[in-house]
Amino acid sequence: MFESDPLKIFKNWYDQAKESEIDKPNAMTLATVDNHGEAYARIVLLSSFDINGFVFHTNYLSHKGVQLAENPSACLLFWWDCLGYQVRINGEISKTTAAESDAYFNKRSRGSQIGAWASEQSHVIKSRQVLDDRAAEFEIKFSGKVVPRPAHWGGYRLSPTSIEFWVNQENRLHERALFTRLESGSWQQDILAP
Ligand SMILES: Cc1cc2nc3c(=O)[nH]c(=O)nc-3n(C[C@H](O)[C@H](O)[C@H](O)COP(=O)(O)O)c2cc1C
């Protein structure tokens, strides 16, 4: 039996992952679906989470950004191998506020800030040189200045509608608990066969 608040379970597992040997415990698969129903997945990093949802940062004009504008439902997946834990989170996506995105951007290294300007993420470029040249151009443009956040870069928050916890067990008799958010805001808990 799991405790009744899935966010408390997530926090507990995430804390364990951060204390473990796992290199990037905040790496998660983000799955999105475009307006043709085609699914895409890629790794992004969890920036933060709280009662309002799970936040990651990216380029709003990237493939994922276009897909999330077309279809603002997404799925996040964590697999923490040494703990034997998998967590799947489905939910609705919204952009974080400009102030939140600014605050996060301002904490990043200058190199990452320049990179956010230089990379037209997911777009075809003629060669690697194009990227390096753009990075050099923005280095010059912002030389001696604070690098501002580009409007095309910022956070998304996934507000969870369901969270499934999976615990590895012997003989493939794994434990699975599915939490579904009810209209009232409380969570229904169901056990799933593995
Ligand atoms: C460990 C790891 C962490 C990553 N973190 C991010 C991230 O936080 N944000 C991001 O936009 N891309 C991140 N990426 C790159 C994405 O996987 C992906 O290549 C990129 O966002 C473009 O995806 P898209 O073309 O589907 O939009 C990361 C990749 C890896 C392997």
Residue 20 lies in a domain: yes
Half-sphere exposure of 55 (CA within 13 A, CB side): 14
Coil, helix or strand for 8? helix
Is the Cβ–Cβ distance between 16 and 115 less than 8 Å?
no
Is the Cβ–Cβ distance between 170 and 161 less than 8 Å?
no
Ligand 1 atom 10: residue of nearest CA: 58
Residue 144 lies in a domain: no
- pLDDT at residue number 2: 85
Q: What is the DSSP string of 74-112?
A: EEEEEEEGGGTEEEEEEEEEEEPPHHHHHHHHHHS-HHH
Distance 178 CA to ligand 1 centre (A): 27
The reply to whether the predicted model has a pTM over 0.85 is yes
Candidate from 58, 60, 71, 113 with most ligand 1 atoms within 8 A of CB, to mutate? 58
Distance 28 CA to ligand 1 centre (A): 10
Is the Cβ–Cβ distance between 57 and 107 less than 8 Å?
no
- pLDDT at residue number 23: 96
Residue 159 lies in a domain: yes
- Of the candidates 108, 110, 157, 172, the residue annotated as catalytic is 172
* 172 is annotated as an active-site residue: yes
Cα 13 to Cα 18: distance, rounded to the nearest angstrom: 9
Residue 86 lies in a domain: yes
Cα 38 to Cα 30: distance, rounded to the nearest angstrom: 14
- pLDDT at residue number 133: 98
Cα 56 to Cα 124: distance, rounded to the nearest angstrom: 23
Residue 124 lies in a domain: no
Is the Cβ–Cβ distance between 152 and 170 less than 8 Å?
no
Number of compact structural domains in the chain: 1
Report the nearest atom of ligand 1 relative to the CA of 64: 27
Distance 102 CA to ligand 1 centre (A): 19
Cα 53 to Cα 95: distance, rounded to the nearest angstrom: 11
Residue 73 lies in a domain: yes
Cα 32 to Cα 153: distance, rounded to the nearest angstrom: 18
Q: What is the mean pLDDT of each run of 10 residues along the chain (194 residues)?
A: 92 98 98 97 98 97 98 98 98 98 98 98 97 98 98 98 97 95 96 96
- pLDDT at residue number 81: 97
CATH assignment at residue 164 = 2.30.110.10
Residue 179: give the domain boundaries: 6-106+152-191
Residues 6+ apart with CB under 8 A from 147: 110, 113, 114, 117, 138
Residue 101 lies in a domain: yes
Residue 98 lies in a domain: yes
The structure tokens listed for 141 are 């443009």
Cα 164 to Cα 138: distance, rounded to the nearest angstrom: 43
